[in-house]
């Protein structure tokens, strides 16, 4: 199943002899790790966009320890309801959630702007089509995807509408109001509640909200897990350095994670 799109001319890509090629002669080699880089230089705003290698490694270690497994399971339960043939995970990172999704579909694409993350993901699961790419121009053909997912990632709304099939679905996962509240209290002078409902307002012109739920889990973190959690979030560079140092010296820390999950369906397009 060839669902990828050339980011230069927007023609379909076909896999030929270990390279993705379009009819206009553009070609993109499959790297030895098994991914393809479709983030062309004219779409780049920095030399190494996306998460740092340190952040990617910290997230991989934290997630592999199972702390966010309840969220992974909740996403899988949604897919078991929807039974999609094609899935696009936007902002797939190192592939923890994407690999779980892949087991519940015929064809799964994971795309992320961070090459270091996609390299790790490709080592994890060779049954996913892993792509370095940007949400600003999703390298995927029009109306080819049954379910798009964005877990703690940006939501390129118009591009999602373009790649989704008619009445396709969008899964959004974002922090619930009190997600990691105790951690944020320890790192910042002032802590505001997250506002997940902003995504309902953002998407309402093109999507209908079908389901919503909050998944919560309480985590007992040792020193290493706590350091990894901090390092994989924006708190790593936003937090007060003295507060972060003091927190990371704690041997044990208890914190609750709260995930807001939304399931949207693309509005039916008016016939011409």
94 among annotated binding-site residues: yes
Kindly report the backbone phi and psi dihedral angles of residue 60, in degrees, each rounded to the nearest multiple of 5, phi listed first. Answer: -60, -45
- Is there a contact between 172 and 197 (Cβ–Cβ < 8 Å)? no
129 contacts 121 by C-beta, under 8 angstroms? no
- Ligand-binding annotation for 106, yes or no, is no
- Residue 156 and residue 43: Cα distance in Å, rounded? 15
143 in a known ligand binding site: no
- Longest Cα–Cα distance of the chain, Å, equals 63
CA dihedral 146, 150, 156, 160 (to 10 degrees): 0
- Is position 22 annotated in a ligand binding site? yes
Q: According to the annotation, is 61 in a ligand binding site? A: no
Q: Is 108 annotated as a binding residue?
A: no
Please report the beta strands in 135-227, taking only residues with DSSP state E, as ranges in sequence order.
145-151, 164-175, 207-222
Binding site members: 6, 9, 22, 26, 68, 94-95, 179
Binding site members for S-adenosyl-L-methionine: 68, 94-95, 179
Binding site members for Zn(2+): 6, 9, 22, 26
């Amino acid at each position: 199943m060839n669902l990828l799109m050339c980011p230069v001319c927007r023609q379909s890509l076909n896999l030929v002899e270990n390279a993705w090629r379009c009819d206009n002669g553009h070609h993109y080699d499959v790297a030895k790790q098994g991914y393809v880089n479709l983030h062309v230089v004219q779409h780049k705003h920095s030399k190494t966009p996306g998460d740092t290698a340190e952040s990617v490694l910290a997230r991989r270690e934290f997630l592999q320890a199972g702390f966010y497994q309840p969220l992974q399971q909740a996403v899988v339960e949604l897919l078991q309801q929807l039974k999609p043939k094609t899935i696009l995970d936007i902002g797939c990172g190192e592939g923890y959630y994407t690999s779980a999704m892949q087991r519940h579909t015929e064809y799964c694409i994971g795309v992320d702007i961070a090459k270091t993350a996609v390299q790790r993901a490709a080592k994890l699961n060779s049954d996913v089509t892993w792509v370095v790419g940007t949400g600003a121009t999703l390298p995927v053909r029009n109306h080819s995807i049954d379910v798009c997912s964005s877990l703690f990632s940006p939501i390129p709304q118009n591009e999602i509408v373009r790649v989704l099939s008619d009445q396709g679905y969008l899964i959004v996962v974002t922090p619930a109001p009190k997600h990691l509240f105790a951690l944020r209290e320890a790192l910042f002078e002032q802590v505001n509640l997250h506002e997940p409902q902003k995504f309902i307002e953002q998407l309402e012109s093109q999507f209908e909200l079908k389901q919503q739920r909050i998944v919560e889990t309480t985590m007992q973190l040792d020193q290493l897990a706590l350091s990894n959690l901090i390092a994989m979030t924006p708190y790593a560079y936003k937090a007060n350095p003295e507060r972060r140092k003091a927190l990371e010296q704690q041997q044990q820390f208890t914190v609750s994670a709260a995930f807001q999950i939304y399931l949207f369906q693309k509005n039916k397009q008016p016939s011409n």
